[in-house]
Amino acid sequence: MIITLDEAEKIYPNVTQADLDGLEISIRELTNNPFQNRRVRFCNLRFEGEATVIVFDEVEGLRNGDTIQISASKWNNGLYVIKEVAGNTIILDGNPKLFTGNDKEAYLTKVEYPADILAGVRKLLKYDTQMTDKMGLKSKTVSRVSETYFDQNSGETINGYPAAMMSFVDKYRLLKW
């Protein structure tokens, strides 16, 4: 999670968790970057219940509220937020609906986003706040005051935002192999 829902609602009151998840996925797809801290990685996992992950190592480097990515699992791949870490047990936030069982191939990695990604997401939320009611409007004249907005065609936008506003992700782009 790049930004919490509570923090995002202070900037843009109408935002939902689904909007924030979509923004996170789009940034990861645009950059082809998983933003993983590979120094905090655990292999050989056990999934118990729908929200519990057991790690067969000592859990270090993870806290409540951290984002993790589960990879190479048969059924439970994805991004999750940690609700609680107790010993070698990790309880996930929300309703992840994990499938139970041992998975020796699966591994869990901490996801960390740089500060400028967070700042860029805040700017996008502010843009949403200011421009939501102006979508589709190119020019507006009231009395002697005229306002003209830029065209929003596919060449000038990325995921519905002006291309210049999405430039904060450029330095994190990785090549696709």
E strand or H helix that includes residue 106: strand 101-111
pTM reported for the whole predicted model = 0.83
Q: How many other CB atoms sit within 10 Å of the CB of residue 113? A: 19
- In sequence order, what are the beta bridge partners of 46? 54, 102
For a pLDDT cut of 90, what percent of the chain falls above it?
A: 73
Confidence of residue 141 (pLDDT cuts 50, 70, 90): confident
Query: Length of the chain in residues, anyone?
Result: 177
The mean predicted confidence, pLDDT, of the chain is: 90
φ and ψ of 132, to 5 deg: -60, -45
d(CA 177, CA 36): 17
**Half-sphere exposure of residue 46: CA atoms within 13 angstroms, side-chain side:** 7
Pairing assessment for the beta strands 52-55 and 36-48 based on DSSP bridges: antiparallel
- pLDDT (average), residues 144-164: 74
pLDDT, residue 161, reads: 86
Over residues 93-135, the pLDDT tens digits come to 988 999 999 999 999 999 999 999 999 999 999 999 988 766 6
d(CA 49, CA 2): 26
Q: Is 79 left (phi over 0), alpha (psi -120 to 50) or beta?
A: beta
Over residues 4-43, the pLDDT tens digits come to 999 999 999 999 999 999 999 999 999 999 999 999 999 9
Structural domains of the chain sorted by starting position, each given as residue range(s) with its CATH number in brackets? 5-33+114-172 (no CATH), 37-111 (2.40.30.180)
- In sequence order, what are the beta bridge partners of 36? 111
Q: Please say if the pLDDT value at position 154 is more than 70.
A: no
E strand or H helix that includes residue 29: helix 17-31
pLDDT, residue 51, reads: 96
pLDDT, residue 45, reads: 95
- pLDDT (average), residues 141-169: 78
